[in-house]
Structure 1
Amino acid sequence: MRFHHLDLNLLVALDVLLEEQNITRTAERLHMTQSATSGVLGRLRTFFEDELLVQVGRRMQPTPYALELAGPVREVLLTIRSSITARRVFDPAASKRHFRLVTSDYLISVLFAQVIQRIHRQAPGVTFEMLSPGDNSSELLIRGEVDLMIVPERYRIDDHPAQLLFEEDHVCVVWRDNPEVGDSLSLEQYLAMGHISVGFGRNRHLSIEDWIMNQYGVKRRLEVITNDFNTLAQLLVGTPRLATMHRRLAQLYARYLPLRILPTPMKIPLMGEYMLWHRSMDGDPMLKWLRGRIRDCIQDIDLPVT
Structure 2
Amino acid sequence: MNEIDLHRVDLNLLVVFEVLMETRSVTVTAERIGRTQSAVSHSLARLRDQLGDPLLIRVGGTMQPSPFAEMIVEDVRAILRSIRRVIAPRGLFDPRASDRVFRIAMPTLTKVIAEVSNRVEAEAPNIRIEWLPAHHDVYASLGEGLIDLAHLGGEPRLPDGLEHQIMEPFSWVTFARQDHPACDAWGPDAWRRYPHLMVNVTRAMQNPFPISAQADVGARRVSTMIGDSAGVASLLAKSDFLATFPAMLLAWDMEAFGLRAMRPPFDHGPVLVRFFWSSRLANDAGGIWIRSIVIEAYRRLQAEAEAKLNRDVLLQPDM
Shorter chain as normaliser: what TM range?
Answer: 0.5 to 0.7
Shift in Å at residue 221 of structure 1?
A: 0.7
AA aligned to 2:228 is D
Q: 1:229 corresponds to which residue?
A: 229
Q: 2:111 corresponds to which residue?
A: 110
AA aligned to 1:103 is M
Shift in Å at residue 103 of structure 1?
A: 1.3
Shift in Å at residue 201 of structure 1?
A: 4.5
TM-score (norm: length of structure 2): 0.62
SS of equivalent residue, structure 2 residue 186 = coil
Tell me, yes or no, if the aligned pair for 2:210 and 2:268 is still in contact at 8 Å: no
Shift in Å at residue 298 of structure 1?
A: 3.1
User: Are residue 168 (structure 1) and residue 207 (structure 2) matched?
Assistant: no
Deviations 1:182-232 (A, max 9, x none): 2x63223312221111124456x4214552468537342112222211322
Q: 2:245 corresponds to which residue?
A: 245
Instruction: Give runs of aligned pairs for residues 24-173 of structure 1, distance below 5 A.
Output: 85-88=87-90, 89-105=92-108, 107=109, 109-155=110-156, 157-159=158-160, 160-173=162-175
Q: Distance in 2 between matches of 1:299 and 1:132?
A: 20
SS of equivalent residue, structure 2 residue 288 = helix
Tell me, yes or no, if the aligned pair for 1:233 and 1:243 is still in contact at 8 Å: no
Q: Distance in 1 between matches of 2:117 and 2:174?
A: 29
Q: Distance in 2 between matches of 1:92 and 1:202?
A: 35
Q: 1:258 corresponds to which residue?
A: 258
Name stretches of at least 5 consecutive residues in structure 1 with no aligned partner.
1-6, 10-31, 34-79
Name stretches of at least 5 consecutive residues in structure 2 with no aligned partner.
8-49, 52-81, 309-319
Deviations 1:84-136 (A, max 9, x none): 6243322222122211111111x3x1312111111110111211112211121
SS of equivalent residue, structure 1 residue 154 = coil
Shift in Å at residue 266 of structure 1?
A: 1.0
Q: Distance in 2 between matches of 1:177 and 1:84?
A: 55
After superposition, the Cα gap between the structure-2 partners of 1:254 and 1:242, relative to the gap in structure 1 and judged at 3 Å, is same
Q: Distance in 2 between matches of 1:150 and 1:209?
A: 16
Deviations 1:233-290 (A, max 9, x none): 2212243331112211221121201211111101223333321111111111111111
- Name the % identity: 22
Tell me, yes or no, if the aligned pair for 2:182 and 2:190 is still in contact at 8 Å: no
Number of aligned positions between the proteins: 229
* Among 168, 178, 181, the residue aligned to 1:179: 181
After superposition, the Cα gap between the structure-2 partners of 1:201 and 1:290, relative to the gap in structure 1 and judged at 3 Å, is closer
Q: 2:77 corresponds to which residue?
A: none
Tell me, yes or no, if the aligned pair for 1:141 and 1:148 is still in contact at 8 Å: yes
Shift in Å at residue 137 of structure 1?
A: 1.3
AA aligned to 1:98 is V
After superposition, the Cα gap between the structure-2 partners of 1:239 and 1:138, relative to the gap in structure 1 and judged at 3 Å, is same
AA aligned to 2:178 is R
Tell me, yes or no, if the aligned pair for 2:197 and 2:242 is still in contact at 8 Å: yes
AA aligned to 1:232 is V
Q: 1:75 corresponds to which residue?
A: none
SS of equivalent residue, structure 1 residue 266 = coil
After superposition, the Cα gap between the structure-2 partners of 1:164 and 1:81, relative to the gap in structure 1 and judged at 3 Å, is farther
After superposition, the Cα gap between the structure-2 partners of 1:8 and 1:279, relative to the gap in structure 1 and judged at 3 Å, is farther
Q: Distance in 1 between matches of 2:217 and 2:251?
A: 30
Instruction: Give runs of aligned pairs for residues 258-297 of structure 1, distance below 5 A.
Output: 258-297=258-297
AA aligned to 1:172 is T
Q: Distance in 2 between matches of 1:202 and 1:215?
A: 24
Tell me, yes or no, if the aligned pair for 1:213 and 1:219 is still in contact at 8 Å: no
SS of equivalent residue, structure 2 residue 181 = coil
Deviations 1:127-179 (A, max 9, x none): 11122111211111122211111222425523311012443211111211123
Q: Distance in 1 between matches of 2:123 and 2:157?
A: 30
TM-score (norm: length of structure 1): 0.65
Q: Distance in 2 between matches of 1:181 and 1:125?
A: 47
Q: Distance in 2 between matches of 1:201 and 1:158?
A: 16
Q: Distance in 1 between matches of 2:202 and 2:299?
A: 31
SS of equivalent residue, structure 2 residue 146 = coil
